[in-house]
Each structure stands twice: as C-alpha cells, then as structure tokens.
C-alpha cells in the first residue's frame, strides 16, 4: 500500500483512552472496594500530570503561534485541545457516575459513610465544630477578591474554596443583586490536616468527612459579618514541563534547581470548577483571575481526588487487594553468594513476583567483597531514602571506587536526584551528571571484580533491567532484570559507561541495542528479516510489549510488515498511535492490560524462522526514546530463560479477564472469549513462577 495512506491515532487522545481504561477498573465490582477506589485515585493523578505536561505544551504552542515536533498530527493545537476537552469532560462525567453510583453505595453497604453534604448529622455536630476550631481554623487565611485588585497567587495542585456572601447589613431580594455580593478565596491547609477526617462511630457505622466539608459547615465562623450564599471548590494545574535537555557545565545542578522552582509558577493549563457553580459566579471568577473559557474543565464537588488513595479504611484488609508476596528464588538462596550464583548461570528476576532484595544483596556483596574494584551504575528514578543508594554509600566507605551516572532531567524526580547525588558526592562517589540533549534512561550496573589473588584474572558482573533501581516501585511495577557474567554483554555495557564518562564517542556494539546508535537500524533489520521469511513461504512473527508506541517511522515498519503477512501482536499499556483493523494494518492486534501491578517491562520478540530473537529493554517506541535518550536493549541468550519469557508472553496474550483489544476507534474492548478457563495474566504468571521455583527447589 502507498505509505501516504497510512494513518495514526493522535498521541494525546490515545493516552486518554489508556487513562479511561484505568478508570474502568473502578467500575469492576469483582475487585475489592478499596482497590477500585485506588484506581479512581490513579486516574486523577494521571490526568493531573497530563494537564501539567501535554496540555501545557499545546497551550504554549498556541501562545507562540508555531508547532513542535511532538504534536505530530494534521490538526493544529487548538483542534487538539478541543478534542482533549471534549473527551476529558466525557470521562469526568463517567468518573463522578462511578464514584456516586457505584463506590458510595458500596461504602455504605460495608458500613462506611462518606459525607457528601456539608451538614453533619446532629450526633456529629459537636465533634465537627470542635475539630474545626482546634485543628483547622488557626491555619486558614481567607482573602477577599476584588476584580481590579491584586490577587493572591493560586498554586497548582492545591485545593481552594471560593465563597460568595453578602454583608448582614445588606438586603438581598429573592433573586439577589450581584453587585452586593462579596467573594473570598481560601486555601485548604492540606499540609496541616488530612484530606479525610474520621468521625465517631454511631450504631456500628463508620463516618468519614472531607476536610472541605468541615470547613464549609463552619463558614459562618470564618466570616461572622456575612450571610453565606454559596461555596464551591476550585483547583488549577500549571505548566510543569520545564526545558532541561541542554543543561550542561559546572553549574548544571544550580541551573536545574532554579528551573524546577519555576515549575510552581508556570502558566495555567487547567481551571477545574464544580459543575454546580452558577454561570454568574463562574463569570466573576474568570474575570477576576483572567481565566479564559478554554482553560475551564468541568469537575464535581470535590477536586484532587487522587487523595482517595488516602481514604481511611476502618474495616481493614478485607476491603483491599491482597497482593501476592514476592517469592524467594531457591537457586539464589542455596548458593548464598550472588557472585557464585551468577558465575554458574545467568539469572532472570521478575518483579514484583520475585523479591527486589536480590538486587540489594548483589550490590551489598559488591560493597564488602575485597575483590571488587569498582561499581558503576545509572540512576534515573530512585526511592527516597533509597536502599540502593545506601549500598553504594557503604561501598564507597569500604574503599571501593563507585561511579554513578545521575540523570537530573528525570521529570518530577529532579530534586530527589539532586539531593541523592549530593549525598553520594559527599561520601566520595564519583558523580557524572546529565548529557546535553540526551536523557539517560538505561537501567544498567556493572561490578568490576578480580578473580584471582594477584589480580591477573577478572570476572565482572552486570545487572540489566527494564525498570528503575527503585525498591518502592518494584513492589507494584512489573519488570524483568538480568544478572549475568557474560563477557560479551559486559563488554558492551562497559562501552555504554565509557560513553557516559566521555571516553568514547562512536561506540560499536556487538550484542546490545543502544539508542541513539544501533537500536533503530537493528530493529528495522529484524522486521525486514521477518518480511523476508514470509516472502520465502515461511512464518513471520513479531510480539512487542512496551508502554508507548508513538514513533511514526517504526509504526510504518510494522504497517509494512503486517501488509506483507507478518503476524504481529502488540501489548501496549499506554500511548499507541498505530490504528488496527485497517487495510494497512493487516495482521496486527493490540492488547492492553491494566491490573493490580503496572505493566512496565518492555520485551521484543522476533520469530526469525524458529531461532527466536528476544530482547529486554528500557525503551518504548517513542521518538524521544529512540532518538533523544540513551537506552539499552539486551538479548536473552540462555534458552531456558528465553522459554520462560515466551511462556509469559503467551499467558498475557491469553488474558481474558483484564486484557482489552484496542479497536480502530480507540475503544477498550474487553476480551470476553468463550473459553471457560479464565486467565487473569498477572495471577497466572505468579503461579507459573511459583511452580517453576518449587520445581527448582526440589531439584536442588
């Protein structure tokens, strides 16, 4: 087919389809109640970041009257924003329907009453009044609003109440006189009091109240000279996409720190208001704060509902998702020494199904092993008070040379990365900072170790992963990691670090695929190889799992392969701009899986006439990953491990509980086949790995 006929989903509308799939988990009454509430929280948190980054970028384009490469569609930014607003408003209606019609009744059924009215029952009035006076009132700072006056700056990610009232000395007729109204803005003191307050039990029923409503019911105390007419919640989102790509030089840390601070005062990207707010009230607020109609997003009575993740659960674990406990790996347990184990054979770890502790043990053993000379590692996102960082500090204190590449441009983790880098620097660790124009997204570590007393022999070890060195996210992100002493793989990893250290500028890799060097050419070669096999009358098969598929050049390669008869299965969690079920997308199916763990591993499989090439990687097929980041994809060379990953692929493709097909209209179409055997892939994978470990344990 003529390539000019190829079409693509718009990036941001595709992402909204993914976030809607997250929202659908909240409607699944097979899930424990607080698991469903958790997905309401995740949906809101995702949408917040979407407005801070993607919507803010489109608004910036409109302001500058030009386009950036990231828009990559035939529509201008105004049309894209209009589509976004339309879809978000539709989803918001669904959100509040699920919350009101599904979640609240189920809470009541479980003996939990979440107040949805500012007036407490008589048996709670005294508690609410006392709590407000003692815990809330001292931290309130209401500010009167005048149209032509200097206004208080409205912070992003904060909750505000806007109150409309009239002086008690004024007379307001039945219809009211707008000119007589006074308005006040009041920030909810989120850092001083929790969002949800547990009230005393009554007749076996538990009661919870939004702090918003505790303030609302006490408004006459705050404004004693006024009659309260009405009060509504608002919140805004601001542009948080600070440009850091080309920061360099000795002052890189200070330059980035200054830019991160500016994030708090970015341009407006969303103004959320209560849909019950009268038109005249809304018009006054828009005029007073200079808010444009295109900034408006309809919300409900409550905003910042990502806070639902903190909703108290007075009934305990019965209402929560019971996550499978991370497994121990018998082979690693029996050997004791991680180095001895990895010398014998490569080890593949599956997080969170198997314990992340093995990485900590690997690094800790390196910290105390007298034969270890040096540790090198990349840092993209680490946990606060990171156990990984603590092992590196221990290694430095034990006299090891430790080199850490710190990516300061990891969005929203800049400050944490700067502070951990400073801690490491003070401990004597060599810190290498960001590369101008590139983000380093690869997740690799290498241990340089002597293998003889005189140091004449070396046996080095490496850790390569699809996910971050982060023990917190490793409990909820599904990732894979390889521990190896394969000298050929380690030679390539050493070249990656030489590149980061500025010692190598034109690397040649034999086994790793490294962006922006050989990754794209090798991917195109392997796709063409599958096409060639089909043309020779053989089978062509590609299975790709990733978080995002956006790069049009690579989508075109898949379109071309599908047209030529290659069977293609895509497992794409988030953005997917490839349109299925079209003449140009023959033989291509797209699966999306959303469940208790975040699907985060990226896996590439090429049948290759039965030889089966398999890569694990940190890279999505987004333009930024393939051309503006240093990424690594590493081959799986051990037959046993390769079979294990292929089995897991097959389990995911059989999922008929949590898997959806993405159709040509970006709908999430649940796989509901006639197979009486229900496969919820994440639970099935856990059982698969548990059985494998049990068999391995019995064999030892």
- Closest to 626 measured CA to CA, from 652, 592, 602, 590: 602
Return the beta strands (E) in 94-215 as ranges.
112-114, 143-145, 160-167, 182-187, 196-202, 205-210
In whole angstroms, give the CA distance from residue 449 to residue 28.
Answer: 51
Assigned token pair, 537: 């009358």
In whole angstroms, give the CA distance from residue 278 to residue 21.
Answer: 32
Cis amide leading into 617 (omega within 30): no
Enumerate the β-bridge partners of residue 613.
606
Cα Rg for the chain, rounded, in angstroms? 28
Q: Which residues of 72-100 are buried (b: 16+ CB within 10 A; e: fewer)?
A: ebeeebeebbeebbebbeebbeebbebbe
Q: Which residues of 379-399 are buried (b: 16+ CB within 10 A; e: fewer)?
A: bbbbbeebbbbebbbbbbeee
Enumerate the β-bridge partners of residue 614.
605
- Closest to 244 measured CA to CA, from 379, 382, 56, 410: 410
Residue tagged active-site, from 303, 350, 441, 550? 441
Q: Is residue 304 within 8 Å of residue 44, measured between CB atoms?
A: yes
Q: Is residue 142 within 8 Å of residue 164, measured between CB atoms?
A: no
- Closest to 603 measured CA to CA, from 494, 478, 486: 478
In whole angstroms, give the CA distance from residue 600 to residue 593.
Answer: 11
Report the C-alpha dihedral over residues 351, 357, 358, 361, rounded to 10 degrees. 160
Q: H or E segment at 226?
A: strand 226-238
Between helix 11-25 and helix 77-97 the angle, nearest 10°, is: 10
Q: Is residue 490 within 8 Å of residue 446, measured between CB atoms?
A: yes
In whole angstroms, give the CA distance from residue 122 to residue 200.
Answer: 12
Assigned token pair, 2: 């003529």
441 is a catalytic site residue: yes
* Residues with active-site annotation: 441
């Amino acid at each position: 087919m003529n390539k000019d006929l190829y079409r693509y989903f718009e990036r941001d509308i595709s992402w909204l389809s993914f976030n809607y799939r997250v929202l659908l988990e909240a409607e699944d009454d097979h899930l424990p109640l607080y698991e469903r509430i958790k997905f309401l929280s995740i949906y809101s948190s995702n949408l917040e970041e979407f407005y801070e980054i993607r919507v803010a970028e489109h608004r910036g384009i409109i302001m500058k009257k030009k386009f950036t490469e990231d828009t990559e569609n035939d529509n201008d930014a105004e049309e894209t924003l209009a589509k976004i607003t339309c879809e978000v408003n539709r989803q918001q209606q669904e959100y509040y329907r699920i919350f009101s019609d599904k979640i609240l009744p189920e809470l009541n059924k479980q003996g939990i009453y979440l107040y949805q009215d500012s007036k407490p029952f008589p048996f709670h009035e005294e508690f609410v009044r006392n709590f407000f006076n003692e815990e809330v009132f001292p931290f309130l700072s209401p500010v009167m609003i005048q149209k032509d006056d200097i206004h208080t700056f409205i912070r992003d990610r904060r909750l505000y109440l806007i109150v409309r009232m009239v002086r008690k000395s004024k007379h307001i007729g039945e219809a009211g006189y707008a000119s007589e109204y006074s308005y006040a803005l009041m920030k909810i003191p989120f850092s001083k009091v929790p969002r949800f307050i547990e009230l005393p039990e009554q007749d076996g029923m538990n009661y919870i109240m939004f702090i918003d409503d505790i303030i609302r019911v006490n408004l006459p105390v705050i404004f004693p000279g006024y009659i309260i007419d009405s009060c509504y919640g608002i919140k805004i989102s601001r542009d948080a996409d600070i440009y850091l790509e080309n920061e360099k030089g000795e002052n890189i840390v200070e330059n980035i720190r200054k830019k991160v601070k500016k994030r708090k005062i970015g341009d407006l990207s969303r103004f959320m208001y209560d849909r019950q707010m009268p038109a005249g009230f809304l018009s006054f607020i828009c005029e007073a704060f200079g808010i444009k109609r295109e900034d408006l997003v309809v919300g409900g009575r409550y905003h910042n509902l990502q806070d639902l993740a903190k909703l108290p659960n007075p009934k305990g674990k019965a209402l929560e998702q019971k996550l499978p406990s991370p497994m121990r790996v018998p082979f690693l347990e029996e050997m004791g020494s991680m180095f001895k184990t990895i010398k014998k054979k490569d080890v593949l770890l599956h997080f969170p199904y198997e314990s992340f502790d093995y990485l900590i043990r690997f690094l800790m053993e390196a910290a105390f092993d007298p034969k270890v000379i040096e540790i090198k590692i990349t840092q993209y996102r680490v946990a606060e008070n990171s156990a990984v960082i603590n092992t590196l500090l221990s290694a430095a204190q034990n006299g090891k040379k430790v080199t850490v590449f710190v990516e300061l441009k990891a969005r929203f983790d800049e400050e944490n990365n700067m502070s951990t880098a400073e801690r490491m620097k003070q401990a004597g660790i060599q810190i290498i900072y960001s590369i101008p124009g590139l983000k380093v997204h690869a997740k690799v570590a290498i241990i340089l170790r002597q293998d003889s007393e005189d140091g004449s022999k070396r046996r080095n070890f490496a850790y390569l992963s699809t996910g971050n060195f982060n023990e917190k996210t490793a409990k909820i992100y599904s990732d894979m990691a390889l521990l190896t002493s394969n000298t050929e793989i380690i030679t390539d990893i050493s070249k990656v670090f030489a590149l980061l250290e500025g010692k190598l500028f034109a690397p040649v890799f034999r086994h790793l695929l490294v962006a922006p060097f050989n990754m794209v050419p090798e991917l195109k070669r392997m796709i063409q190889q599958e096409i060639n096999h089909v043309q020779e009358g053989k089978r062509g098969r590609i299975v790709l799992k990733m978080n995002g598929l956006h790069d049009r050049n690579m989508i075109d390669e898949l379109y071309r392969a599908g047209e030529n008869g290659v069977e293609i299965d895509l497992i794409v969690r988030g953005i997917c701009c490839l349109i299925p079920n079209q003449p140009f997308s023959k033989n291509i199916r797209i699966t999306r899986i959303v469940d208790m763990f975040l699907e985060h591993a990226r896996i590439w499989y090429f049948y290759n006439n039965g030889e089966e090439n398999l890569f694990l990687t940190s890279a999505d097929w987004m333009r930024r990953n393939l051309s503006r980041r240093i990424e690594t994809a590493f081959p799986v060379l051990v037959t046993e491990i390769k079979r294990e990953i292929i089995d897991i692929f097959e389990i995911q493709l059989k999922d008929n509980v949590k898997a959806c097909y993405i159709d040509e209209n970006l709908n999430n179409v649940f796989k509901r086949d006639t197979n009486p055997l229900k496969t919820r892939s994440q639970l099935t994978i856990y059982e698969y790995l548990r059985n494998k470990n049990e068999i391995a344990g019995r064999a030892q």
